[in-house]
Amino acid sequence: MGSATSGIVLLALVALFLGTGVWIFSGLILVGISSLWLTLGFSLDRIGSIAAGVISSSAISWELAAVPMFLWMGEIIFRTDISQRLFTGLAPLARFLPGGLLHTNVLGCTLFAAVSGSSTATTATVGKITIGELKRRGYDPSLASGSLAGAGSFGLLIPPSISMIVYGVLAQVSIAKLFAAGVLPGLMMAVLYSGYIGIRCVIKPSLAPKEEAPASLGAVLRGLRDLGPIFILVVIVLGSIYSGLATPSEAAAVGVLGAILIVTATKQMTRDLLLSSLMSAIRVSSLICVLLAASAFLSAAIAFMHLPQTISAGISALSLGPFGLLLVLAVFYIIIGMFLDGISIIVMTLPVALPLILAAGLDPIWFGVYLVVMIEMSALTPPVGLNLYILQGLTNRSFVKTVYSALPFFLLLCLGVCILAVFPEIALWLPSVLFSR
CA 17/CA 73 separation, integer angstroms: 35
The model's confidence at residue 214, banded by pLDDT at 50, 70 and 90, is: low
pLDDT digits (tens, 9 = 90+) for 407-417: 999 999 999 99
Closest CA to 238 of 73, 367, 81: 73
pLDDT score at 282 = 87
Task: From 378, 380, 362, 379, select the one nearest 427 (Cα to Cα).
Answer: 362
* Every domain of the chain and the residues it spans: 62-434
Give yes or no for residue 213 having a pLDDT over 60: no
The phi and psi torsions of 320 (rounded to 5 degrees) equal -75, -35
Judge residue 271's burial from the number of C-beta atoms within 10 Å of its C-beta, 0-12 exposed, 13-18 middle, 19 or more buried.
exposed
Greatest mean pLDDT among 5-19, 82-96, 170-184, 199-213 lies in 170-184
Average pLDDT rounded to a whole number, residues 264-282: 89
Highest mean pLDDT: which range of 7-11, 52-56, 170-174, 299-303: 170-174
Report, as an integer, the average pLDDT of 85-111.
83
pTM here? 0.80
Q: Categorize the per-residue pLDDT at 294 as very low, low, confident or very high, splitting at 50, 70 and 90.
A: confident
pLDDT of amino acid 60: 65
Angle between helices 24-40 and 3-19 (to 10 degrees): 150
Number of neighbours of residue 5 by Cβ within 10 angstroms: 12
What pLDDT was estimated at residue 417? 94
Provide the pLDDT for residue 372: 92
Q: What is the DSSP letter of 23?
A: -
Q: Which pLDDT does position 316 carry in this prediction?
A: 65
* Per-residue pLDDT reduced to its tens digit, 372-423: 999 888 888 886 677 887 788 878 888 888 889 999 999 999 999 999 999 9
